[in-house]
Amino acid sequence: MPETGPLLVGFDADDTLWQNEQFYRLTEEAFAALLADHCEAAVLSERLLAAERRNLALYGFGIKGFTLSMIETALELTDGALPGHVVARILEIGREMLRHPVDLLPSARETLEALSGRYRLVLITKGDLFDQERKLAASGLGPFFDGIEIVSDKTDGIYRGIFARHGTEPCRCVMIGNSLKSDILPALGAGASAIFIPHDLTWVHEHAEAPEGHPGFSQAADLSAVPGILATIG
């Protein structure tokens, strides 16, 4: 395909367009309070992270898998003697996460408004289908996007497939997100450019080294800088 036409610009959702990780941190604090008689908070956090990593291949990313991992961790720490009322409370705090209002990050709407019509915008997010659809609807940002891609994971191959479905060569694509591991490195690996927007809170599973010196890599403090960076790429 010739290198003409508008760039395809992919946006991550969680902690790029709206808050997400802070709700997991608050939920983990509530979980630690429930298990305070059985384990210190720091140890609990390590055990929960281990359970989440074990379960990613089965449950995928998202609140439902996180809730199941909390129950599994609690059962391990109580040697299977977890009281029913504690299980009920864990389920309830999981439901509270699923009901939480969407809190847009600064400049999210303004940035999409500035880019809409000038670029082809595609939301590329991973996680539970129902929850991601709920958050997108509640955000009011859906009309800005020319396409929605909710995937189970983000890899080089998945990005290539997304770009191909939208009829665009990777060299005409830019991915924007807060996770080096999921948004930046695999998009670069697929042949696209990428703009890293760090978030104050990032799940440890998403940590990775920045690809300093990569010609397709850019970093900005917040979304307001994206239009200017895209102008230089375009």
**Domain 8-19+102-233 -> CATH class:** alpha beta
Tell me, what's the pLDDT at 99?
Answer: 87
For residues 153-168, give the mean pLDDT: 95
Tell me, what's the pLDDT at 203?
Answer: 60
Dist CA 118 CA 6 (whole Å): 7
| Superfamily per CATH, domain 21-99 | Putative phosphatase; domain 2 (1.10.150.240)
Tell me, what's the pLDDT at 2?
Answer: 42
Is the model's pLDDT at 138 over the cut of 90? yes
- Whether 16 and 30 have beta carbons less than 8 Å apart is answered as no
Is the model's pLDDT at 199 over the cut of 70? yes
Which part of the chain has CATH 1.10.150.240?
21-99
Per-residue pLDDT band for 5 (boundaries 50, 70, 90) equals low
pLDDT digits (tens, 9 = 90+) for 14-23: 999 999 888 8
Specify the pTM: 0.86
Dist CA 195 CA 53 (whole Å): 26
Which part of the chain has CATH 3.40.50.1000?
8-19+102-233
Dist CA 199 CA 16 (whole Å): 8
Structure token digits, residue 153: 């994971």
Per-residue pLDDT band for 234 (boundaries 50, 70, 90) equals low
